[in-house]
Structure 1
Amino acid sequence: MMGGACSRKRDQQVNEDSGNRGIYGRYCKSGSSKWLGNSISRLAVDNKQGKTKCPSLMELCIYKIREDIDKYSSFSMLPRDISQQIFNELVYSQCLTEVSLGAFRDCALQDLDLGEYPGLEDSWMDVISSQELSLLSVDLSGSDVTDSGLIHLKNCTNLQAMNFNYSDQISDHGLEHISGLSNLATLSFRRNNQITAQGLSVLSGLVNLLKLDLERCPGIHGGLVHLKGLTKLESLNIKCCNCITDADMKPLSGLTNLKELQISSSKVSDYGVTFLKGLHKLSLLNMEGCPITAACLDCLAALPALLYLNLSRCNLSDDGCEKISGLTNLETLNLDSCRIDDEGLVNLTGLTSLVSINLSFTVVTDSGLKKLAGLASLTSLNLDARQITDAGLASLTSLTGLMHLDLFGARITDSGTNYLKNFKNLRSLEICGGGLTDAGVKNIKDLSSLTVLNLSQNNNLTDKTLELISGLTQLVSLNVSNSRITTAGLQHLRSLKNLKSLNLDSCKVTAYDIEKLQSTDLPNLVSFRPE
Structure 2
Amino acid sequence: MGGACSRKRGHLVDDGDSRRGVSRRFSKTGSSKWLLLSLPRCGSSALQKGHTKCPTLMDLCVVRIREDIAKHNSFSMLPRDISQQIFNELVQSFCLTDASLEAFRDCALQDMHLGEYPGVKDSWMHVISSQGQSLLSLDVSCSDITDSGLSYLKDCPNVQCLAFNYCDQISDHGLEYLSALSNLTSLSFKKSNAITGEGMKAFKYLNNLVDLDLERCLKIHGGLVHLEGLEKLETINIKCCNCITDADIKSLSGLTNLKELQMSCCKVTDSGISHLKGLTKLAHLNLEGCPVTGACLRFVSDRTSLLYLNLSRCCISDQGCENFAGLLKLKVLNLGFNNITDACLVHIKGLINLENLNLDSCKIADEGLVNLKGLLQLKSLELSDTDVGSMGLRHLSGLCNLESINLSFTMVTDSGLRKLSGLTSLKSLNLDSRQITDAGLSALASLTGLTHLDLFGAHITDAGTNCLRYFKNIQSLEMCGGSITDAGVKNIKDLTFLTLLNLSQNCGITDKALEYISVLIRLVSLNISNSRVSNAGLQHLKPLKNLRSLSLESCRVTATELKKLQLSSLPNLVNIRPE
Confirm or deny: 8 A CA contact 1:430 1:453 kept in the other structure.
yes
2:73 aligned residue? 73
**Normalised TM-score (structure 2):** 0.76
CA-to-partner distance for each residue in 1:307-339, whole Å, 9 max, x for gaps?
222232334344544323343322112222233
Deviating more after overlay: 253-262 vs 388-397: 253-262
2:405 aligned residue? 381
Confirm or deny: 8 A CA contact 1:384 1:410 kept in the other structure.
no
Structure 1 residues 231 and 470, CA gap change in structure 2 (3 angstroms): farther
Confirm or deny: 8 A CA contact 1:212 1:235 kept in the other structure.
yes
The counterpart of 2:506, out of the listed 476, 480, 483, is 483
Structure 1 residues 119 and 262, CA gap change in structure 2 (3 angstroms): same
1:268 aligned residue? 268
Confirm or deny: 8 A CA contact 2:389 2:410 kept in the other structure.
no
Distance 2:218 2:534 in 1: 43
Note the C-alpha offset of 1:270: 4.1
Note the C-alpha offset of 1:105: 0.8
Distance 1:375 1:243 in 2: 42
CA-to-partner distance for each residue in 1:427-455, whole Å, 9 max, x for gaps?
21111124222222211221112122222
Confirm or deny: 8 A CA contact 1:450 1:475 kept in the other structure.
yes
CA-to-partner distance for each residue in 1:202-228, whole Å, 9 max, x for gaps?
323333333322222222334333334
Alignment of 1:222-261 (within 5 A): 222-261=222-261
Structure 1 residues 371 and 320, CA gap change in structure 2 (3 angstroms): same
- Count of residues in correspondence between the two structures: 483
**Normalised TM-score (structure 1):** 0.82
Alignment of 1:58-207 (within 5 A): 58-207=58-207
Deviating more after overlay: 181-190 vs 426-435: 181-190
Note the C-alpha offset of 1:52: 5.7
**Residue 432 (str. 1) matches residue 456 (str. 2):** yes
Structure 1 residues 69 and 90, CA gap change in structure 2 (3 angstroms): same
CA-to-partner distance for each residue in 1:49-93, whole Å, 9 max, x for gaps?
x96655444333323322222222111112222212221222122
Structure 1 residues 307 and 467, CA gap change in structure 2 (3 angstroms): same
1:308 aligned residue? 332
Look up the SS of the partner of 1:84 in the other structure. Answer: helix
User: Alignment identity in percent?
Assistant: 53
CA-to-partner distance for each residue in 1:454-484, whole Å, 9 max, x for gaps?
22x2242222333212222222222222324
- Matched residue type, 1:236: I
2:17 aligned residue? none
Distance 1:440 1:492 in 2: 17
Distance 1:335 1:249 in 2: 28
- Matched residue type, 1:281: S
Structure 1 residues 323 and 387, CA gap change in structure 2 (3 angstroms): same
CA-to-partner distance for each residue in 1:392-430, whole Å, 9 max, x for gaps?
323322322111112234632111101211212212111
Look up the SS of the partner of 1:309 in the other structure. Answer: strand
Look up the SS of the partner of 2:469 in the other structure. Answer: coil
Structure 1 residues 107 and 334, CA gap change in structure 2 (3 angstroms): same
The counterpart of 1:522, out of the listed 537, 540, 544, is 544
Note the C-alpha offset of 1:256: 4.2
1:210 aligned residue? 210
Confirm or deny: 8 A CA contact 2:115 2:141 kept in the other structure.
yes
Deviating more after overlay: 418-427 vs 204-213: 204-213
**Residue 291 (str. 1) matches residue 315 (str. 2):** yes
2:486 aligned residue? 463
Look up the SS of the partner of 1:411 in the other structure. Answer: coil
**Residue 501 (str. 1) matches residue 525 (str. 2):** yes
- Matched residue type, 1:413: T
- Matched residue type, 1:442: N
The counterpart of 1:416, out of the listed 436, 440, 445, is 440
Structure 1 residues 412 and 287, CA gap change in structure 2 (3 angstroms): same
**Residue 348 (str. 1) matches residue 363 (str. 2):** no
1:322 aligned residue? 346
User: Larger radius of gyration, structure 1 or 2?
Assistant: 2
Structure 1 runs (4+) deviating above 6 angstroms are none
1:12 aligned residue? none
Look up the SS of the partner of 1:415 in the other structure. Answer: helix
- Matched residue type, 1:525: L
Distance 1:505 1:54 in 2: 43
Note the C-alpha offset of 1:101: 1.0
Structure 1 residues 60 and 310, CA gap change in structure 2 (3 angstroms): same
In structure 2, the gaps of 5 or more residues are 1-45, 283-303, 553-575
Structure 1 residues 512 and 234, CA gap change in structure 2 (3 angstroms): farther
Structure 1 residues 157 and 393, CA gap change in structure 2 (3 angstroms): farther
Confirm or deny: 8 A CA contact 1:111 1:135 kept in the other structure.
yes
Distance 2:234 2:325 in 1: 20
- Matched residue type, 2:421: T
Structure 1 residues 230 and 369, CA gap change in structure 2 (3 angstroms): farther
Distance 2:54 2:534 in 1: 34
- Matched residue type, 2:497: Q
